[in-house]
């Protein structure tokens, strides 16, 4: 073997390299690696959490949607009921009004007819009296036969 002073030189170089590596190379690299591992772990945990949150939010949204739908259906149902009620009320009111108007009209018509009939009877009586007067002008005394005429007028 050919051992010589080179060995001492290499020993010193080795020591210096290892010390340098220990002081200036290993710690920053290891710190970076470990910090990144931590960061990745945190990121994964956060994403898990976010996923859970998302599922929760989706459930909540679904519930809310369901509630809203039920509420809307209820409102529509109420509106429909109210609509029906309003229509019914209106129909009732209209019917009542119609009945009133009808009755009134009937009464008016009746009154008018009575009046007309009265008029007519009076005119017919007058006419009949006038006719009879002309026919019986000379023979019949108006005063003597007025009771008969009255009777006639009554019968018309």
| Site of interaction with other proteins (CB under 8 A) | 1-11, 13-15, 17-18, 20-22, 24-26, 28-33, 35-36, 39
What is the C-alpha to C-alpha distance for residues 112 and 90, in angstroms, rounded to an integer? Answer: 32
Compute the C-alpha angle 146/148/154, nearest 5°: 105
What is the C-alpha to C-alpha distance for residues 90 and 83, in angstroms, rounded to an integer? Answer: 10
Compute the least distance from the CB of residue 25 to other proteins, in Å: 5
Q: Which is nearer to other proteins, 10 or 150 (CB)?
A: 10
SS3 32: helix
Instruction: Cite the DSSP H helix spans in 3-145.
Output: 6-20, 26-135
Compute the least distance from the CB of residue 67 to other proteins, in Å: 45
Q: Quick one: which H or E segment has residue 147?
A: helix 146-155
Compute the least distance from the CB of residue 22 to other proteins, in Å: 4
Compute the least distance from the CB of residue 24 to other proteins, in Å: 6
Q: Which is nearer to other proteins, 11 or 148 (CB)?
A: 11
Q: Which is nearer to other proteins, 31 or 71 (CB)?
A: 31
Q: Which is nearer to other proteins, 33 or 73 (CB)?
A: 33
Burial of 31 (0-12, 13-18, 19+ CB in 10 A): exposed
């Amino acid at each position: 073997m050919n051992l010589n002073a080179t060995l001492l030189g290499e020993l010193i170089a080795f020591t210096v390299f290892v010390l340098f590596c220990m002081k200036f190379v290993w710690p920053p690299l290891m710190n970076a690696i470990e910090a990144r591992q931590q960061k990745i772990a945190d990121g994964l945990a956060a994403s898990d959490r976010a996923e859970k949150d998302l599922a929760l939010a989706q459930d909540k949204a679904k519930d809310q949607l369901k509630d809203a739908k039920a509420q809307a259906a209820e409102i529509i149902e109420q509106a429909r009921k109210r609509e029906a009620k309003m229509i019914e009320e209106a129909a009732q009111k209209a019917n009542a009004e119609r009945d009133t108007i009808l009755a009134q009209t009937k009464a008016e018509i009746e009154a008018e007819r009575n009046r007309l009939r009265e008029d007519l009877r009076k005119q017919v009586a007058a006419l009949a009296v006038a006719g009879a007067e002309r026919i019986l002008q000379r023979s019949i005394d108006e005063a003597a036969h007025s009771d008969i005429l009255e009777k006639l007028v009554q019968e018309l």
